[in-house]
Structure 1
Amino acid sequence: MKPFSRLWSLAAAAAFLVQANASPPPPAASAPIVNLGYAQYQGTVVQDKVTNATHTQFLGIRYAAPPTGSSRFKAPASPATTPGVQLANANPPECLQASQGVSATNPFRVGQLQSRAADAGPSEDCLFLNVFLPGILGQRKNLPVVFWIHGGGYILGSATGFDGNDLIRESGEGVVVVVIQYRLGVFGFLPGQKVKDGGALNAGLLDQQFALKWVQEHIRDFGGNPNKVTIWGESAGAGSVLQHVVANGGHTHPPLFRAAITSSSFLPSQYKFNDRIPELLYSETVSQTNCSSAADTLSCLRSADVNALQAANTAINRNGFFGTFVFVPVVDGTFITDRPTKLLQEKKVNGKILYSVTNTFEGVAFVNQATANTVQVADYVSQLFPNISPAQAQAAAAKYAGTGTNIFQANGIMGESIFICPTYFLLRAFGGKAFKGEFAIPPGSHGQDVGYYFNNGKPPAFADPGFDAAFSESFLDFAMNLDTNVKHDPINITPQWQQWQGSNEMLFNKTDAGAAVVQPIKTSTALLDRCDFWQSVADATAQ
């Protein structure tokens, strides 16, 4: 779920004119220093790759103490005071990574996991963030803040590759951008009763929340307004946004953001922390790190060699069912008080307003296309959701019968049950205070949209300036104004966009001849009916 190809925006023209008339930066601009109290960081001044506008960036700011040693599997803590000035001119080390499941069957159906070889990841000490701002440090104040959470199934990904300068350009130089990292895989999402009793469940989500609190405390030092924060993520990053929307039963206090954006919301099975499958994951982690005979297995895991724990992390994740991710958030009873779909049904949400985009064919990348001639739809449902009953699996298959071949149906089940339908549940929870978009540029697959907003100054495959600006700028206009209709770019081609009324959205597509299509559409009633089905069985799917 790394960003793909990159895009440029029509907003560049306006930004260029602003920069062309700006005064040259003062000599000290080459070494901007910010004092955060616990440390001083020296950033760098850069020129935008498209407009040459002046931006300032701070890469690799530590926002939490190293989650290592006795702090492993615990909630994040404030960093120690560091003397002197720290250079913030390079991307931080990535958190330890794993990979998605590749197994033909779901091991949780039979309650067994099999070990596989694993590779070591980058670093356990990885709780850093990057900050990007327009102009020179101290030049502007009270700008809206975009807080980006990367995707990767909660087991991979990093801040690297997400250049906040792209979002600044697409905003017309109107936002401050924060890009964070958080613990992944077993390090961030180890479940089980032992973790509840002696550690912190959902540590990766707590890292994100800690970074949001860091923004509340420090973003004014970078010209940002802590009262104008929009959280945004793609895939598991969007899933993380969903988690923060329902966090603390929708009553996080004080509020940490005013608006939320989801690009391809990701909501896999989210079991209660001590259900059968989470406890199996804990036991398997203990077994693979030779901690089974320890009197205190969690203490043993804390003292285990990081490479041994990373080997278990990779092995367990790879043994998951094809296209699924094993170490993901759980219902912990405190931060996440209940199943997300239940909290959304009860409209228990943080934030004032929402903007959500889904891609037309979200599921294709997560279904083994080599099984096209053999996949049985009801069996696929049972593999994807191991706690679902045979009758419910058959009912799901019946909902998709007639939509296409068996593999097309499996693609639809994966994409709709885990990405698209949870997005509609999220939209409903905001009671009309929301905007909905669909990204459909062929093939309309998962992650294809990322290169339109994180573009590294380069055009994407469909390099239509009007389309590219309309799509990428919609996110930044929303973050700045809480309304996609309030446009900073006067030549943005997006027509009037009504707030969500249950079945209306904005289509971002192109014609066969290559002309941009940006127009309002009605949501498919058949799709909404299938989503109603998935909501009806959410207790069995653990969503």
Structure 2
Amino acid sequence: MGTSDRAAMIDLLLVAKGGHEVLPFNQAMFDGILRAANCTTVACLRDAPQEVLFKANSFLINEVGDGSTGALGPLTGFTPVVDGKYIEDLPTALLARGSYNRKMHSLRLFERPYLTPMTTLSNASSRCMSIPQTSLKKFHGTGRPICHFACNAYFNAKAYKNKAQRYAMTIPPATHGLDQTYFLFNSNASTPATDIAAAREFQEYVRRFVTSERNQEDYRGLDDWPNGPGETSFEIVLGSFEVQKGLLGCQPPLSSLE
């Protein structure tokens, strides 16, 4: 699971060596959890008392430094670049032509229709985007952020099909990384959320995703995630999850080496 630059790191590794790189995702996170709990096997982790697991969880979230961004957990450090060899081309171009790793079990993708920095301003989006609402849809399809977030998520979802789920987070103030407080919601004291009901539903969708549709007992009326993730997704708005079809302005990418 990655957010912002860490999501970009995952994106690059998915297309590394034309899709033939051995992916480190499962082992790296797992090893970090084992070390935090002073365990060497999953059997040890399963038998560990709650106190040990609480301390390990606290360490991984609160004590592992991230550099300077204020995000949860460590930063990615140095990352690959498009060099024509290890990363042969732009990730979107490689995904579009089928040069990606097919051994992924699941993929969750997040996009925003515009860029904003991490901030505490409740009206940050409005202040950064002081344009008429009639122009917002056009900007969404033609503006610079579409290249950074929306197209990357679109081509990932289109490539991985039923292994991927894509969504756009638009609950105000819709700032960078805001969806983390919905993914990991505990209380408004530690993870403030504008819409607590949406946060709980968001977490249920995550549970369904990672457990292959199990654990639905408390949310029997919750809609299924849209099929065809390359073409449809959820837009998370106040009070609901709305189906979003297609993506304006996201065309097959040109090669960065042409």
Tell me how far 1:256 sits from its aligned partner.
Answer: 4.0
Tell me how far 1:328 sits from its aligned partner.
Answer: 6.4
The residue that corresponds to 1:235 in the other structure is 4
Q: Structure 1 residues 473, 436: CA separation in 2 closer, same or farther (over 3 Å shift)?
A: same
Give the match's secondary structure for 1:233: coil
- Distance in 1 between the 2:106 and 2:117 partners? 30
The residue that corresponds to 2:244 in the other structure is 522
Give the match's secondary structure for 1:505: strand
Tell me how far 1:494 sits from its aligned partner.
Answer: 2.9
The residue that corresponds to 2:217 in the other structure is 490
Tell me how far 1:501 sits from its aligned partner.
Answer: 5.0
Give the match's secondary structure for 2:93: helix
- Distance in 2 between the 1:441 and 1:365 partners? 15
Q: How does 1:74-223 map to 2 (within 5 A)?
A: none
- Distance in 1 between the 2:256 and 2:87 partners? 16
- Distance in 1 between the 2:128 and 2:111 partners? 25
- Distance in 1 between the 2:226 and 2:193 partners? 29
The residue that corresponds to 2:237 in the other structure is 509
The residue that corresponds to 2:256 in the other structure is 539
Counterpart AA for 2:250: C
Q: Structure 1 residues 488, 471: CA separation in 2 closer, same or farther (over 3 Å shift)?
A: same
Deviation by residue 1:135-173 (Cα, 9 ceiling, x = unmatched): xxxxxxxxxxxxxxxxxxxxxxxxxxxxxxxxxxxxxxx
Deviation by residue 1:30-83 (Cα, 9 ceiling, x = unmatched): xxxxxxxxxxxxxxxxxxxxxxxxxxxxxxxxxxxxxxxxxxxxxxxxxxxxxx
Give the match's secondary structure for 1:494: coil
- Distance in 1 between the 2:174 and 2:129 partners? 19
Counterpart AA for 2:218: I
The residue that corresponds to 1:249 in the other structure is 18
Question: Does 2:175 correspond to 1:423?
Answer: no
- Distance in 2 between the 1:475 and 1:501 partners? 15
The residue that corresponds to 1:434 in the other structure is 164
Deviation by residue 1:464-501 (Cα, 9 ceiling, x = unmatched): 3x3212112323432333xxxx1424213531223325
Q: How does 1:205-354 map to 2 (within 5 A)?
A: 232-253=1-22, 255-257=23-25, 329-350=80-101, 351-354=104-107
The answer to which structure has the higher helix fraction is 2
CA contact (8 A) 2:89 2:255 kept: no
Counterpart AA for 2:210: A
The residue that corresponds to 1:460 in the other structure is 192
Tell me how far 1:460 sits from its aligned partner.
Answer: 2.3
Which residues of structure 1 form unaligned runs of 5+? 1-231, 259-313, 315-326, 374-401, 511-515
The residue that corresponds to 1:32 in the other structure is none
CA contact (8 A) 1:364 1:411 kept: no
Query: TM-score, length-normalised on structure 2?
Result: 0.61
Structure exhibiting the larger radius of gyration computed from Cα positions: 1
The percent of aligned pairs where both chains have the same amino acid is 25
From 228, 245, 251, the equivalent of 1:500 is 228
Q: Structure 1 residues 438, 244: CA separation in 2 closer, same or farther (over 3 Å shift)?
A: same
Which residues of structure 2 form unaligned runs of 5+? 27-67, 69-77, 119-125
Give the match's secondary structure for 1:518: strand
Aligned residues: 196
Give the match's secondary structure for 1:508: strand
Give the match's secondary structure for 2:181: helix
CA contact (8 A) 1:364 1:415 kept: no
CA contact (8 A) 1:435 1:505 kept: yes
- Distance in 1 between the 2:194 and 2:200 partners? 12
Counterpart AA for 1:418: H
- Distance in 1 between the 2:108 and 2:136 partners? 30
The two structures, once aligned, show a CA RMSD in angstroms of 3.9
Tell me how far 1:538 sits from its aligned partner.
Answer: 5.5
- Distance in 2 between the 1:426 and 1:462 partners? 29
The residue that corresponds to 2:205 in the other structure is 474
CA contact (8 A) 1:497 1:506 kept: yes
Give the match's secondary structure for 1:491: helix
- Distance in 2 between the 1:505 and 1:335 partners? 31
Deviation by residue 1:261-301 (Cα, 9 ceiling, x = unmatched): xxxxxxxxxxxxxxxxxxxxxxxxxxxxxxxxxxxxxxxxx
Deviation by residue 1:92-130 (Cα, 9 ceiling, x = unmatched): xxxxxxxxxxxxxxxxxxxxxxxxxxxxxxxxxxxxxxx
CA contact (8 A) 2:108 2:165 kept: yes
CA contact (8 A) 2:185 2:191 kept: yes
The residue that corresponds to 2:110 in the other structure is 357
Q: Structure 1 residues 537, 371: CA separation in 2 closer, same or farther (over 3 Å shift)?
A: farther
Give the match's secondary structure for 1:332: coil
- Distance in 2 between the 1:452 and 1:238 partners? 17
- Distance in 1 between the 2:141 and 2:93 partners? 25
Tell me how far 1:429 sits from its aligned partner.
Answer: 1.6
From 173, 191, 195, the equivalent of 1:443 is 173
CA contact (8 A) 1:249 1:337 kept: yes
Q: Structure 1 residues 243, 372: CA separation in 2 closer, same or farther (over 3 Å shift)?
A: closer
- Distance in 2 between the 1:371 and 1:430 partners? 34
CA contact (8 A) 1:245 1:349 kept: yes
Query: TM-score, length-normalised on structure 1?
Result: 0.31
